[in-house]
Chain A
Amino acid sequence: MSPIAYRARALGPLRAIDWAIPPGVSVVVGPNRVGKSTLLRLPELVMRIITEGVHDAFKVIFEGVPHLRNLGLPPSAPMTLGVAVDPSEWEIELTVQAGQIAEFPNEHLRVDGDAILWRKFGSKEIEGKDCRFPLHNGLLASLSDTFVQSVYASLDDDTPWAPPDMSDPDLITKLRQYMPSDAPDLVVYAAMRMTMMFLPAMSVLSFRTYHYEINHLLRFGSLHSSAMELQVTGENVFPLLRNWRDKPEFEERYEFVLATMREIFPHLGRVGFEQAGQTVTMKISDRRWPGATTIPIARESTGFITALLQICAVASCRRNGLVTLDEVETSLHPRAIRVLIDAFRRWAAKHDLRIVLATQSETVLDQFRDEPSQVFVLEPTQETSPKALTDLFSPEYLSQFSLGDLFAHLEFGGDSDEERAP
């Protein structure tokens, strides 16, 4: 799995971000208003910029760019966004003009710290050492985006993903087919570098528990759909589960969801689906009930449906992908949280996933006592955020306390004394 880092400056509540997301399950903590939710949207923002362009990406993620600049920083501080996969790094400077991101922004592609391709603000040409090339629409990323999507679509979800061999002449020939025929070698090389960098950034799913439409889902069920991925509102969960159950290549996801639900709710019996017209709902039985009694999902608890959605969210992600879950603890009993995080760890290890949780919960944090390096702390006075907990404390020190207790007592992840002062 390629280590991938997201970078941003002066973007919304974020001041300076350099966030390398480790494999497995990690967690982000910090006080309210420090930017945890914004941080969790960065990977999706980058993915959408690569695939849909900068305007659409900002429209979907932040509903546009007005009031997006961090006002705590001087106006001279550039608002930037970037992604890095060693040894490459791409950075774009976001200039807002007339209520949208200006066309032809300042951007750089660096390899081993050296700029190999760049565009100066407003220019319709990109430049490299001894080379200029017209690029009238799109960012540098547009040189490789179609190729990236084609390679990504061809990746096998059943086997561990390995980065393509950059020196493979066939691959370079294929890449050239997606590029202007007169593109100089340097531009092709840069596009190949971007391919390697953007591939691991392509599979991103972002969920926020507070965006789940639980009431609607319970009252009206889901619309029939052939989806294989959970919507951000969770509204397609019932046909999704049924689709996973009925398609052999996705059955493992269904089994994972059901096994984890039964671990959380040991009395959960059989699960079935009902369709009336275009509406799909779920019915469940409980091993404590007599005979084959079932109830419609509408009669189930909020915790039950929330747990179901969180597990489906994680199971939706493709191999080598990233899932972010904001406020994972909502509605869940501490034991359910423990089971859920443990199940996420097993699933992440098996499918090479990165799963990032944002939380204010001491119970969630306590699940990371054996992996304190997977805890990332956002604090308002940090020069660069987030910081791994093990950069703030030694593991030996941390081992003496419950992480949840340290968090609750503001030893980390709280406002500084100055911030707390009136």
Chain B
Amino acid sequence: MARVQLITTGVMEERALGKSLRRLFPDHEFVSWPRLDGFTSARLPPAPPLPSGVRLNLDKFVANLIGAFDPGNRRDRSRPDFVVAVEDVELANADDPARITASLRDALQRRFDAWPTKDRAHDRLREDLQRKVSFHLMAPMTEAYFFADSRALARATAPAPCRPSRFDPETDVETFALDDPDYLGPPADPSSPWCTETGRQGHPKRYLIYLTESSAGGRYRESEHGARALEGLDWRHVARSPDHTRFARSLLADLEDMLGPPSQALPSATAAGQTHSLTWPPPRDHLLRNL
């Protein structure tokens, strides 16, 4: 049995991603660390001017990846066998997610070069990162995958949606292109939490709030409804179309490479060429397992 440590940036993923993946790989343990601050909500790479002395979330994120296997890390606890970090693509970089992976890679390289280990310890740490640590993206964010699994969507909108979903389930949830004029058009109540001036298109979380909005406001809460939906998410549905959900397939392919075949058959999920090239398979000069 392998122990996989998850690094997440959202309360929903912190609470439920491990349980969700455990259903696919029941012989292995998935443990979440307290979530970190996300770094993809603004355009990457970070643009100056930036305040001096305040560490970017991106830098803190990579420090956690490296620190997981640092030899100076506390010795009274067993090390995880693997670390899998997961972050949302979000909207700011959705047109070019390579900005995210490139920024992470740059930050990782910079931080690793300055990491206070020497010689053999430094080499061992590099090997650990290359063999045991992965970084994956959820596109545009984890909530999108609920729209690929009707039961997960029902749990996210429980007890019942107040409005029908007009997301076309035959399209790729990772693109999350909506054609719902009531949601995208001028709203009746501009103070609704989903009702931002920009950023409604392609935003499954806001769409869930819209779908569950009664007179008392949007009911969807990621820590509650989202966590329940993610915990029970059927990854077979997420991965059913060979040309869709390539970021999710990358995660699944990586996990299969780490842990062996999943307990549930994932048709076409991990076939070569159908993952997202940014996150699987690994490039030749990889710093992490897949980056």
From B34, B58, B224, contact of A400 by CB (8 A):
B58
Taking CB as reference atom, which chain A residue is nearest B40? Answer: A399
Whether A399 lies near B42 (C-beta < 8 A) is yes
Bits for A365-408, please: 1 = Cβ < 8 Å to B, else 0. Answer: 01001000000000000000000000000011101111001100
Query: How far is B223's CA from A338's CA once the two chains are assembled, in angstroms?
Result: 12
Whether B11 lies near A342 (C-beta < 8 A) is yes
Whether A399 lies near B38 (C-beta < 8 A) is yes
Whether A400 lies near B216 (C-beta < 8 A) is no
Segment touching A, from B49-57, B174-182, B248-256, B268-276:
B49-57
**Max chain B CB contacts within 10 Å: which of A345, A400, A405?**
A400
| Chain A residues, CB < 8 A from B200 | none
Bits for B1-43, please: 1 = Cβ < 8 Å to A, else 0. Answer: 0000000000100000000000000000000001001110111
| Chain B residues, CB < 8 A from A299 | none
A160 on the B face (CB < 8 A): yes
A288 on the B face (CB < 8 A): no
Query: How far is B57's CA from A402's CA once the two chains are assembled, in angstroms?
Result: 6
**Contacts A405-B55, A409-B53, A409-B54; is A397 near B37 (CB within 8 Å)?**
no
B99 on the A face (CB < 8 A): no
Query: How far is B46's CA from A397's CA once the two chains are assembled, in angstroms?
Result: 9
B126 on the A face (CB < 8 A): no
B60 on the A face (CB < 8 A): yes
| A180 CB → nearest B CB, Å | 38
A247 on the B face (CB < 8 A): no
Whether A346 lies near B54 (C-beta < 8 A) is no
Query: How far is B214's CA from A349's CA once the two chains are assembled, in angstroms?
Result: 13
A255 on the B face (CB < 8 A): no
Query: How far is B51's CA from A294's CA once the two chains are assembled, in angstroms?
Result: 52
Whether A402 lies near B42 (C-beta < 8 A) is no
Taking CB as reference atom, which chain A residue is nearest B219? Answer: A349
Bits for A204-234, please: 1 = Cβ < 8 Å to B, else 0. Answer: 0000000000000000000000000000000
A335 on the B face (CB < 8 A): yes
B160 on the A face (CB < 8 A): no
**CB under 8 Å from chain A, chain B span 267-287:** none
Whether A352 lies near B216 (C-beta < 8 A) is yes
Taking CB as reference atom, which chain B residue is nearest A402? Answer: B37
Query: How far is B56's CA from A224's CA once the two chains are assembled, in angstroms?
Result: 53
| Chain A residues, CB < 8 A from B51 | 401, 406, 409, 411
Whether A369 lies near B223 (C-beta < 8 A) is no
Query: How far is B53's CA from A369's CA once the two chains are assembled, in angstroms?
Result: 19
| Chain B residues, CB < 8 A from A402 | 37, 55, 57, 60
| B282 CB → nearest A CB, Å | 27
Whether A338 lies near B46 (C-beta < 8 A) is no
Query: How far is B53's CA from A395's CA once the two chains are assembled, in angstroms?
Result: 20
**Contacts A160-B216, A342-B11, A369-B37; is A400 near B221 (CB within 8 Å)?**
no
| Chain A residues, CB < 8 A from B216 | 160, 352
Number of interface residues of A (CB under 8 A): 22
Taking CB as reference atom, which chain B residue is nearest A367? Answer: B11
Query: How far is B38's CA from A312's CA once the two chains are assembled, in angstroms?
Result: 32
B102 on the A face (CB < 8 A): no
| Chain A residues, CB < 8 A from B215 | 160
| A36 CB → nearest B CB, Å | 23
B92 on the A face (CB < 8 A): yes
Whether B53 lies near A400 (C-beta < 8 A) is no
| Chain B residues, CB < 8 A from A338 | 34
Whether A349 lies near B42 (C-beta < 8 A) is no
| B230 CB → nearest A CB, Å | 16
Query: How far is B43's CA from A334's CA once the two chains are assembled, in angstroms?
Result: 30
From B39, B42, B58, B224, contact of A397 by CB (8 A):
B42
Query: How far is B14's CA from A335's CA once the two chains are assembled, in angstroms?
Result: 13
| B102 CB → nearest A CB, Å | 16
Query: How far is B38's CA from A395's CA once the two chains are assembled, in angstroms?
Result: 13
Whether A401 lies near B34 (C-beta < 8 A) is no
Whether A395 lies near B41 (C-beta < 8 A) is yes
Bits for A154-175, please: 1 = Cβ < 8 Å to B, else 0. Answer: 0000001000000000000000
From A334, A346, A401, contact of B221 by CB (8 A):
A346
Whether A396 lies near B43 (C-beta < 8 A) is yes
| A353 CB → nearest B CB, Å | 13
| A337 CB → nearest B CB, Å | 11
Whether B11 lies near A400 (C-beta < 8 A) is no
Query: How far is B56's CA from A295's CA once the two chains are assembled, in angstroms?
Result: 46
**What are 28 A-B pairs with beta-carbon distances under 8 A?**
A160-B216, A335-B34, A342-B11, A345-B221, A346-B221, A349-B217, A349-B221, A352-B216, A369-B37, A369-B38, A396-B41, A396-B43, A396-B92, A399-B38, A399-B39, A399-B41, A399-B57, A400-B42, A400-B46, A400-B56, A400-B58, A401-B56, A405-B54, A405-B55, A406-B51, A409-B51, A409-B53, A409-B54
Which 9 A-B pairs give the minimum distances between C-beta atoms?
A: A399-B41, A396-B42, A409-B54, A402-B37, A399-B42, A405-B54, A400-B42, A409-B53, A160-B216
List 19 other contacts, CB 8 Å, given A401-B55, A402-B57, A409-B51: A345-B221, A346-B221, A346-B224, A349-B217, A352-B216, A395-B41, A396-B41, A396-B42, A396-B92, A399-B41, A399-B42, A399-B57, A400-B50, A400-B57, A401-B37, A402-B55, A402-B60, A405-B54, A411-B51
